[in-house]
Amino acid sequence: MNNSHSSKRGRGRPKTFDRERAIEDAMRLLWQRGPGVLSVNELCGAVGIAKPSLYREFGGEDGLVATVLECYLQTRTLPLLDELTQDLPMARLVNGLANWLVTPSTDPAGCLLAKTRSTLDTLGPKTTAQVEKMKQTQRAKLTAWMQRAQNNGELAAGLDPTIAGRFVDTQLTTLLMLAAQGEPADLLKAQTTLAFSGLTNR
């Protein structure tokens, strides 16, 4: 509850465990390898924490993955969605997305949420709930975006914004997976353009 910096120190041995640091490190590892593939043992070894620390802090693998996903949502998904769903001409945004997809980053490639979903059945209830929450959040944002696009007359005629939002959701995930597979930049850009070309009037 209290770290070295917050409130006056309690009674026992002071904590050296850096929670934020552990979450960040675990996120990068899980992002690369995927939860359900990377074992708790391996993860603890790589992050440099003792297994009991993990269980004390996060309650187990399930709790850790759920915590990591929340961190991922806040620091990666939401910023990306906010960037993408501004009220600018859609062509501009799609182009921005395409460029973002091919821009090198210090982050691992691909989508942690997608990787988690692919092995969800081997993970715990907290993770499942967190995934569900993230799915809803993402869809809500994208649907709202499409709703505004419709109001601006940008959406193709007769297209339900809910359907369009769901479509963008899956396309986004697919594009992130393609990027993770190391597809060349020009192909990635072409796929992005093509994926969104059905949404707008031409």
Partner DNA sequence: ATATATATGTACCATTTGGTATCTAATATA
Partner DNA sequence: TATATTAGATACCAAATGGTACATATATAT
| Site for a second copy, rule CB under 8 A | 33, 36-37, 118-119, 121-122, 159-160, 163-164, 166-167, 170, 174, 178, 187, 190-191, 193-199, 202
- Cβ pair 123, 62 in contact under 8 A: yes
Residue from 32, 33, 34, 55 touching DNA (CB under 7 A): that is: 55
- Written as six digits, the tokens of 111 are 């989508």
Q: In degrees, to the nearest 5, what angle opens at C-alpha 29 toward C-alphas 50 and 15?
A: 35
Provide, rounded to whole angstroms, the least separation between the CB of residue 117 and DNA.
Answer: 18
Alpha helices (H) along the chain = 19-33, 40-47, 51-58, 61-72, 78-84, 90-102, 112-118, 125-151, 161-180, 185-196
- Cβ pair 115, 69 in contact under 8 A: no
Nearer to a second copy, 76 or 189 (CB): 189
User: Which region, judged by CB under 7 A, interacts with DNA, from 5-13, 69-77, 90-98, 146-154?
Assistant: 5-13
User: Which region, judged by CB under 7 A, interacts with DNA, from 22-30, 42-50, 89-97, 127-135?
Assistant: 42-50
b/e sequence 3-21, b meaning 16+ C-beta within 10 Å: eeeeeeeeeeeeeeeeeee
Provide, rounded to whole angstroms, the least separation between the CB of residue 81 and a second copy.
Answer: 19
Which does residue 154 touch among a second copy, DNA, none (CB within 5 to 8 A, set by kind)? none
Residue from 6, 11, 125, 153 touching DNA (CB under 7 A): that is: 11
- Cβ pair 155, 149 in contact under 8 A: yes
In 3-state terms, what secondary structure has residue 193?
helix
Nearer to DNA, 39 or 181 (CB): 39
Residue from 5, 6, 20, 41 touching DNA (CB under 7 A): that is: 41
Nearer to DNA, 3 or 99 (CB): 3
CB atoms within 10 A of CB 137: 14
Q: Which residues bind DNA (CB under 7 A)?
A: 9-17, 39-42, 49-53, 55-56, 60-62, 124
